[in-house]
Amino acid sequence: MADRTESSILVGAHPGEVLDVIADFEAYPEWTGAVREATVLEVDDLGWARAVRFTLDAGALRDTYTLEYEWNFDEQGLGSVTWGLVEAGILTAMDGCYRLRRADGSTEVTYTLAVEVKMPMLGMLRRKAEKVIIDTALTELKKRVEG
């Protein structure tokens, strides 16, 4: 993931609880502001989502896209999940990662994201949009897990 944006947040829960919320894609419309629909298209041998189709409505950015996931977690819920874009309308890239680690009785969640769109966009504006997406997603994730 070249030229990416990253941010972290502490969530007052066990890593496994955080991982359960991250992995429950079909519930995303209930707690994320921009995802209107999420459908798991394929799962791996362990039952983790391998491909997920999303319908996004983030104001000026509306798209339906499919992401492919790779899960690398231990039995405690520590590790990472990475994803990459398979197909989309206006997006040309959406590569990201959630990393979970223990932090003083909480879970530190680090979200990394790189997004490219078909229309020309200054790098500075793209990074600012990525930062808003990441910060909103982390705040919503924290509320969902702790709520």
Please give the pLDDT value at position 97: 97
**pLDDT tens digits along 106-144:** 999 999 998 887 766 555 565 667 777 788 899 999 999
The single residue listed with the structure tokens 């989502």 is 49
pTM attached to this predicted model: 0.89
Containing 121, the helix (H) or strand (E) segment is none
What are the CA-CA distances from residue 120 to residues 66, 92, 117, 125 (Å)? 22, 11, 7, 10
The single residue listed with the structure tokens 């909103």 is 136
SS3 (DSSP) at 2: coil
How many domains, in total, are found in the chain? 1
Give pLDDT tens digits along the chain (147 positions): 457 889 999 999 999 999 999 999 999 999 998 899 999 999 999 999 999 999 988 776 788 999 999 999 999 999 999 999 999 998 888 999 999 999 988 999 999 998 887 766 555 565 667 777 788 899 999 999 998
Domain around 106: 5-146
- Domain containing 36 — which CATH number? 3.30.530.20
